[in-house]
């Protein structure tokens, strides 16, 4: 689905309820739908003043563009960059129902809503420590596709959480119990739009949203890209020949303390239908210009060149990995200002 044309501006943002503090709104990467869709309509006005401003911005962006002496220097910078997973974005067909049902889980509660100037475009954040960002475009149903796997949610007590979800009418697709070949207690549930959530028992975790699972067609290629272009570490890799799949956990720190990307390769499957429901992950960076250059160096596609979003000045760059999964890098300082 093509994004609706959007004009971004602080005046377009409003809280769902007056008591919600501004710092709880998730504005950085999905403000006015720009980071989700990279819509060409998200530009300055084409009048004379807007054109002049665009030229000034282009000059500033060019001056800030980075040039590395070589790949080794680029790799060293990516590894030293201050990166972390900020949030995930996904689209739903009934925003109010999703908020009501998903807020029932103890790990989450609504923290704010963003209203764009485009009719029927609403974004609401759920508090996995400001890690979930849900968008509604007036569309009743989205296609999740075959490539997206699940979100992982860490809780104190899986059995208790599952019973709470069941009591609220939620769909439990895997009853609580230890993971095959391990001791971690897990369960699987499904929300009204068909998104799967793995509930993991991790008492005291600082990151309730702990995983985003995506399927890839070439695991070695994907690992190399996320290590080099995105500066992630390969935390662990597990092959399951009995079930014909291999999993690689990628992230910016230990799984018990950081949200991670779970890449899954199914034997012999090289391509997946992605649908139009899942959006992206957002990652913090100290320099979106250098980040975009590194992504290009290591085989990624930059679909939104680095620079500030019109009206709110938050600097971002949007990229696609070799499998076509989208990530948005957001300037750390700008993101922090948006949360103030």
In the three-class reduction of DSSP (H, G, I as helix; E, B as strand; rest coil), residue 12 is classed as helix
Residue 114's contacts (CB-CB under 8 Å, 6 or more residues apart) are: 12, 13, 14, 25, 26, 27, 30, 31, 122, 123, 124, 125
* Structure-token pair, residue 147: 């490539």
Longest Cα–Cα distance in the chain: 65
Spatial separation of the C-alpha atoms in residues 137 and 139, rounded to whole Å:
5
Spatial separation of the C-alpha atoms in residues 201 and 299, rounded to whole Å:
37
Spatial separation of the C-alpha atoms in residues 121 and 65, rounded to whole Å:
33
Catalytic residues: 198
Taking each continuous run of H as one helix and of E as one strand, the counts in the chain are: 8, 16
């Amino acid at each position: 689905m093509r994004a609706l044309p959007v004009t971004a501006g602080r005046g377009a943002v409003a809280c769902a309820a007056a008591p919600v503090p501004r710092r709880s709104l998730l504005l950085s990467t999905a403000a006015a739908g720009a980071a989700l869709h990279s819509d060409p309509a998200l530009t300055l006005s084409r009048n004379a003043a807007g054109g002049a401003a665009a030229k000034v911005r282009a000059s500033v962006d060019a001056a800030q563009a980075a040039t590395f002496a070589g790949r080794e220097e680029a790799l060293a910078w990516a590894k030293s960059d201050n990166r972390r997973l900020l949030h995930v974005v996904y689209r739903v067909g009934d925003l109010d129902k999703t908020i009501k049902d998903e807020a029932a889980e103890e790990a989450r509660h609504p923290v704010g809503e963003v209203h764009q100037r485009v009719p029927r475009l609403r974004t609401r954040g759920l508090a996995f420590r400001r890690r979930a960002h849900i968008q509604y475009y007036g569309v009743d149903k989205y296609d999740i596709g075959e490539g997206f796997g699940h979100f992982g949610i860490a809780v104190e007590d899986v059995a208790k959480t599952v019973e709470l979800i069941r009591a609220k009418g939620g769909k439990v697709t895997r009853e609580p119990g230890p993971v095959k070949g391990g001791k971690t207690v897990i369960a699987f549930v499904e929300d009204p739009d068909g998104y799967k959530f793995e509930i993991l028992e991790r008492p005291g975790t600082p990151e309730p949203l702990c995983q985003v699972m995506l399927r890839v067609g070439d695991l070695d290629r994907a690992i190399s890209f996320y290590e080099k272009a995105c500066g992630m570490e390969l935390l662990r890799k597990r092959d399951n020949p009995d079930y014909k799949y291999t999993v690689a956990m990628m992230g910016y720190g230990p799984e018990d303390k950081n949200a991670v990307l779970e890449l899954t390769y199914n034997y012999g499957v090289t391509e997946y239908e992605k649908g139009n429901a899942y959006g992206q992950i957002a990652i913090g960076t100290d320099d979106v210009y250098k980040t975009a250059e590194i992504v290009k160096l290591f085989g990624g596609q930059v679909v939104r060149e680095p620079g500030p979003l019109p009206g709110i000045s938050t600097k971002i760059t949007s990229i696609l990995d070799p499998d076509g999964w989208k990530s948005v890098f957001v300037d750390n300082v700008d993101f922090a200002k948006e949360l103030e």
